[in-house]
Structure 1
Amino acid sequence: MKILLLATGGTIASRETEHGLRPALTAEDMGAAIGAEDGSLEVVDLLALDSTNIAPCHWQIIARRIAECRTTYDGFIVTHGTDTMAYTAAALYYMLEGIDRPVMLTGSQRPLGLAGSDAESNLRLAYEAACSGFAGVAVAFGGRLIHGNAAKKMYSLADDAFRSIGRPEIDLAAPSAPTALFHLRDALDERVAVIRLYPGMKPVTIDAHIASGYRGIILEGYGLGSVPGDDAEESFLPSLDRAKTRACTIALTTQCIYDGADITHYEVGVRAAELGALSGGTLPIEALYARLMILLAETPEGETVKALC
């Protein structure tokens, strides 16, 4: 069994400075905490970033490194800051399509080596999962194993910070296998905006993003993904129509955490769908964001994405 640990920074690798916590520990420190004694664990320092500084270009660095040495190792661990871990997990979930071995993202709420840190337990959970034969990308954190496209950070401080949205948690006792041959989908179109709807928001907000050259907009609507229609003081429907004309893909999702979006239920959603808006379904915003970037990169300029699944 050979496992590769890729360190990218985050709280788990941090030490106190005069300006607060900053990544300082190495992948070697992460590996030592796992305590694998049989030489099965190799480590690489890939990045050293607070996860608030992680961007799509870093997703590509991680995904490409895993793809390059996929057949050399039986599993992978990526240590990462918690604040954007769900975004990176979702991106890797889609970028490493059909991966036939485990890729486990983990981190901690308190730095490795501090009294009461959750780092050691999370690292060992990730190592156990990386050795399990599970196929796919997941978050290993707080005793939970969560599919990469379903993870959401729900608590800013609690050790049990992440929850699975729209999918059951992973049971390592149940066999898993990839549903397709491995394919690295590492092209990303970053012209995607996420806009949260609020009462009184003007539809010109949508128009401004379209005019700025965005090819995709994820609109966090109300309830099942609804946006103001013809009975509103200012309807969003004309802006959605202009988005379609300008080849800007609109994905409607919900501000609710659970149950997802369904724009076939109410007139305000149906009318939006008739204008080309897509439903985000049960995917959390982190997964929708990464998914739309990949799909747009694979869609010719001047065309919209036709489906998110």
Structure 2
Amino acid sequence: MKKILLIATGGTIASAIGAEGLAPAVTANKLLEYVEDVKSYCQIDSVQLLNIDSTNMKPEYWIKIAKHIEEKYNKYDGFVITHGTDTMAFTAAALSYMIQNLDKPVVITGAQKPISAKETDGIKNLIDAIKFSCEDVGGVFVVFDRKVILGTRATKLRTRSYNAFESINYPYIAFIEDGNIKYNKLDIIKKSEDGPKFIITMCSNVFLLKLIPGLEPQILDYIKDKYEGLIIESYGSGGIPFEDEKNMLPKLKELVDKGIAVVVTTQVILEGSDLSLYEVGQKALKTPVIPAFDMTREAAVVKLMWALGQSKELKRVKEIFLTPIKDDFIY
């Protein structure tokens, strides 16, 4: 019988109505009372590591979760993390980078409605997550609405529907139907034989800038003085405005010359970016900026934080960022 550790961090799944609306209240032990049947196929312990709305998630908490998994790694066959949906994809990406070469599953789940609600999806999601945590696979995964998503490829697309998450620019790993797991992609989740590698570090001093028509280039002066990394969400295939008084390229070069890592991704969720395609992108590449290709926004933000946590030297940061990890980008 597999031995699983449930790590509770709060979120909607553990929320109850309070004086100012929904807030985390249900403990880890109480969550398990809703899924008693899982004890027929696994032994499960629990720990209340955090108890927050995931809006309050921060890199320091990602480090806390990763360190707890490292501490307990040899005592359990799998891990389930209950988490709020709003920043779940960020946490999944963070753990994918900080914990590599896994020979067991780390599964993140949550709910769109509290587990105590009449029409909750929390019970189903938690049972599915525990079920998948007993599989002989390795990696970080989001399990939600009967789907298994690679940790570097999850994005929340819906605020209320039960099918909140999608796998972006990548196949689903598996589907769970009536307790049966039907695999769709196996090669990326084979158990590592090299043993886990924990690279637990983060630099939170990163800014995400979303381009809008008419944005003043002077915003980059503020960023230059405050941040060590910048992710620009550009349009379409990717590019930076360069005409007239809205030309952002000179200010962008000032950032790079100062040693600030600049990553360019796209606001378009599907199919990724290609800065080599248009003039606006090729000019940006000469700055030079770091392309994010088909990475999710969440993965790009977190990977830059993780890279800067390891080095402040721009060449090394670019090297870390452009090294594919768990298929976080493929084109």
Scaled to the shorter chain, the TM-score interval is: over 0.9
Counterpart Cα distance in 2 of 1:101 and 1:204? 48
Distance in 2 between residues matched to 1:304 and 1:269, nearest whole Å: 23
Letter in 1 for 2:29: E
Find the counterpart in structure 2 of residue 238 from structure 1: 250
Corresponding residue number in structure 1 for 2:95: 92
CA drift of 1:203 comes to: 1.2
| Aligned counterparts of 1:304 and 1:103: Cα–Cα separation in 2 | 28
Question: Deviations 1:279-299 (Å, cap 9, x if unpaired)?
Answer: 111111111111001101111
Q: Which runs of no fewer than 5 residues in structure 1 stay unpaired?
A: none
Give the aligned partner of residue 286 of structure 2.
274
Q: 2:136–2:191: 8 Å Cα contact kept in structure 1?
A: no
Segments ≥4 residues shifted beyond 6 Å: none
Match of 1:17 in 2: 18
Q: Which amino acid aligns with 1:97?
A: Q
1:167-186 aligned at under 5 Å gives the runs 167-171=170-174, 173=183, 174=186, 176-178=189-191, 181-186=195-200
User: Paired residue for 1:187?
Assistant: 201
1:135-173 deviation digits (Å, cap 9, x = unpaired): 100110111111111111000000000001121111353
Give the partner amino acid of 2:240.
V
Residues 189 and 294 of structure 1 are in contact (CA less than 8 Å); yes or no, is this contact kept in structure 2? yes
Q: 1:66 aligns with which of 64, 69, 77?
A: 69
2:238–2:280 contact (8 Å) kept in structure 1: no
How far 1:113 moved relative to its partner? 1.9
Give the counterpart of 1:37 among 16, 36, 39.
Answer: 39
Q: Which ranges of structure 2 fall in alignment gaps of 5 or more residues?
A: 175-181, 324-331
- Work out the percentage of aligned pairs sharing the same amino acid: 37
The AA in structure 1 aligned to 2:32 is G
1:90 touches 1:149 (CA, 8 Å); kept in 2?
Answer: yes
Distance 1:304 1:225 in 2: 23
**Are 2:8 and 2:48, in contact at CA under 8 Å, matched by a contact in 1?**
yes
CA distance in 2, matches of 1:24, 1:209: 38
The structure-2 alpha-carbon separation of the partners of 1:233 and 1:304, relative to structure 1 and needing over 3 Å to count, comes to: farther
Q: If the length of structure 1 is used for normalisation, what is the TM-score?
A: 0.95
Alpha-carbon distance in 2 for matches of 1:283, 1:56: 19
TM-score by length of 2: 0.89
Instruction: Please tell me the residue identity of whatever aligns with 1:194.
Output: L
Alignment partner of 1:220 out of 233, 236, 248: 233
Alpha-carbon offset, residue 87 of structure 1: 0.8
8 Å CA contact retained: 1:220, 1:254 = yes
Q: Distance in 1 between matches of 2:308 and 2:266?
A: 21
Q: Which of 93, 101, 105 does residue 104 from structure 2 map onto?
A: 101
CA apart distance, 1:181: 4.2
Map Cα deviations across residues 188-225 of structure 1 (whole Å, 9 max, x no partner): 1111100000000011112210122x111000001112
Query: What is the count of residue pairs matched by the alignment?
Result: 307
Q: Deviations over 1:8-27 (max 9, x none)?
A: 00111111111111111111
Q: Is 1:121 matched up with 2:137?
A: no
Secondary structure at the residue paired with 2:317?
Answer: coil
Name the CA distance, whole Å, in 1 between partners of 2:60 and 2:301. Answer: 14
Q: SS in structure 1 opposite 2:96?
A: helix
Distance 1:37 1:182, change over 3 A: closer
